[in-house]
Amino acid sequence: MLRRRNLLTTLLIALPWALLLTLWHQYPTTHYLSLLRNENVTSKALLNGTSALREEVFPSCTRQQQSIGATPKIIQNYVYSRPPPWSDTLPTIFVITPTYTRPVQKAELTRLANTFLHVQNLHWVVVEDSPRRTNLVSNLLEKAGLNFTHLNVETPKSLKLGLSWIPSHTPRGTLQRNLGLHWLRDSFSNTAPPEGVVYFADDDNTYSLELFEEMRYTRRVSVWPVAFVGGLRYESPKVSPAGKVVGWKTVFDPNRPFAIDMAGFAISIKLILEKPHASFKLEGVKGGYQETSLLKDLVTMDGLEPKAANCTKVLVWHTRTERPTLVNEGKRGFTDPRVEV
């Protein structure tokens, strides 16, 4: 009897373990574990091979046909025609982007262009920090299909060095942005100003499509929060219940006249043309005061228009791209320098 019991016990032990091992072997660990956790429906679906389940979890194409979405139709029109056709009634968004040659430049401008190609009535003013307009940028702009203006002005080395002792990084792009403003003032007359806004967009930031629609109808200067600036998740204007800007939610020097990042405001063309002497100050600008140096000549705090749901939504992120390691290029270079990167 003892022997039979031993046999039974052995069987009762061996059988379930064998089953478990087979399951374990077939599927990666966490599939199995997540089954126990009741989270991953897909794994369960995979374990159960019945076609009925498959219908439910992976609805067939025919079934989904019936439901029709309303909003995406607009998106679909934008998706496959780039850029959207120019409209005579929509205010134009002039985006001024200073850029400079470095390995990631083409990548940055490419993904920026991919974003701008969705925005109607956008005119991209690209200003290179270089003695001549480079082929890389010229070709990129021509291929992209956007409305663009290609300018260049080189920051003199003395200026780059002179300002670099300031704790914050060298205020790069100042000359270039000013040239962009200068071009606008040259191209449009103050007597018949076009409807539109100016926005300063650095080439490594990330912009949502919603942002452009928020800024389009700026009357004077509009403002909104910006992510990843000032050592915070985001910096934001302080907006009173009456919808007026009353201060700045920042840790770094919140008492600046305009404690806001370059990507956090847009100015109406009319205002730019009305005040032809307003530009970014080149020298003697403390770190973080660049934006103030322009805005103080254009508007006062209570003239600001808060956007992005009274400055409660983040629609632009001050992302920065890592410098790529090119250590394996060595002294002589490994890759073909004629291949454009």
Q: Which two tokens stand for residue 323?
A: 């410098």
Residue span binding another protein (CB under 8 A) among the ranges 152-160, 256-264, 276-284, 324-332: 324-332
* 326 is a site residue for another protein (CB under 8 A): yes
* 51 is a site residue for another protein (CB under 8 A): no
CA distance 114 to 106: 12
* 55 is a site residue for another protein (CB under 8 A): no
Residue span binding another protein (CB under 8 A) among the ranges 36-44, 166-174, 215-223, 255-263: 36-44
Q: Which two tokens stand for residue 230?
A: 């000032």
CB of residue 8 vs another protein: minimum separation in angstroms?
Answer: 10
Element (DSSP H or E) covering residue 209: helix 209-215
Residue 175: Cβ within 10 Å count: 20
Q: Which two tokens stand for residue 76?
A: 């679909």
Say which residue the tokens 């089954």 belong to: 35
Is 98 assigned to a binding site? yes
Q: Which two tokens stand for residue 193?
A: 């100003």
> Does 291 qualify as catalytic in the annotation?
yes
Distances (CA, A) of 272 to 35, 173, 180: 61, 18, 11
Is 203 assigned to a binding site? yes
Residue span binding another protein (CB under 8 A) among the ranges 41-49, 94-102, 240-248, 255-263: 41-49
CB of 98 or CB of 230, closer to another protein: 230
* 90 is a site residue for another protein (CB under 8 A): no
Please tell me the count of residues contacting another protein according to CB under 8 A.
Answer: 98
Catalytic residue, from 214, 235, 291, 305: name it: 291
Is 320 assigned to a binding site? yes
Element (DSSP H or E) covering residue 7: helix 2-26
Phi, psi of 268 (to 5 degrees): -70, 145
Interaction pattern, residues 188-207, with another protein; x per rule: CB under 8 A: ------------------xx
- Active-site residues: which are they? 291
